[in-house]
């Protein structure tokens, strides 16, 4: 699999992000729309949007992406908003590569603490395992944050 990474965001990325996020079967329609809105915000405002992207490109297809940004009113903390690999490309180490590259870029921008939020639902067990294997520690759990029987699990990794 010949993958190259790119940081620049182009208009076609909105449709690619929609396709990637939808392909996983994990997200509600409104969550998919939020993912697309972040691309639109970056296209409209550039770096001032506070959203930074890394796309994994396989030939003419976007196979996955990560999105992060600094957390307002903090000195060195960043949110990792999205890291998603298209269902067609999962299981090949692409998520680990995107995560490592995003962490390097965050550290390069002065980030020292990376926070990730995910669901506590059973369906998200592989997602939580992914972060734990990547060196993230479970920092907090907010009971029924997203809805009944759907906790918010917050992970942290110190970098830089």
Predicted local confidence at residue 160, as pLDDT = 76
* Residue 135: partners with Cβ closer than 8 Å, 6 or more residues away: 157
User: In this predicted model, what pLDDT tens digit does every residue of 135-150 receive, in sequence order?
Assistant: 999 999 999 999 999 9
Q: Is 80 helix (H, G, I), strand (E, B) or coil?
A: strand
Hey, which residues does 83 pair with through a beta bridge? 66
CATH number for the segment(s) 3-158: 3.40.630.30
Predicted local confidence at residue 39, as pLDDT: 98
User: What helix, strand, coil percent values describe the chain, rounded to 5?
Assistant: 40, 35, 25
Q: How far apart are CA 123 and CA 127, in angstroms?
A: 8
Note the pTM of the prediction, 2 decimals: 0.94
pLDDT reading at 10 higher than 90:
yes
The answer to whether residue 1 scores a pLDDT higher than 80 is no
Three-state SS at 39: helix
Q: According to the model, what pLDDT value does residue 109 have?
A: 96
Give 41-75 pLDDT, tens digit per residue.
999 999 999 999 999 999 889 999 999 999 999 99
pLDDT digits (tens, 9 = 90+) for 74-125: 999 999 999 999 999 999 999 999 999 999 999 999 999 999 999 999 999 9
Please give the structure tokens belonging to residue 126: 């592989």
Taking residues 30-47, what's their average pLDDT? 97
């Amino acid at each position: 699999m010949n993958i190259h990474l790119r940081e620049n965001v182009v208009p076609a990325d909105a449709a690619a992000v929609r396709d990637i996020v939808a392909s996983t079967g994990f997200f509600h329609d409104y969550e998919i729309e939020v993912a697309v809105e972040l691309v639109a915000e970056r296209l409209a405002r550039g770096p001032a949007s506070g959203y930074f992207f890394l796309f994994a490109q396989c030939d003419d297809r976007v196979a996955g992406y990560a999105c992060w940004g600094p957390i307002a009113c903090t000195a060195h903390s960043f949110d990792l908003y999205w890291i998603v690999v298209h269902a067609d490309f999962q299981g090949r180490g692409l998520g680990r590569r995107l995560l490592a590259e995003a962490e390097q870029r965050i550290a390069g921008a002065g980030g020292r603490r990376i926070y990730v939020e995910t669901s506590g639902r059973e369906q998200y067990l592989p997602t939580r395992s992914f972060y734990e294997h990547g060196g993230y520690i479970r920092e907090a759990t907010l009971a029924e944050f997203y809805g009944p029987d759907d906790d918010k699990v917050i992970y942290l990794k110190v970098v830089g």
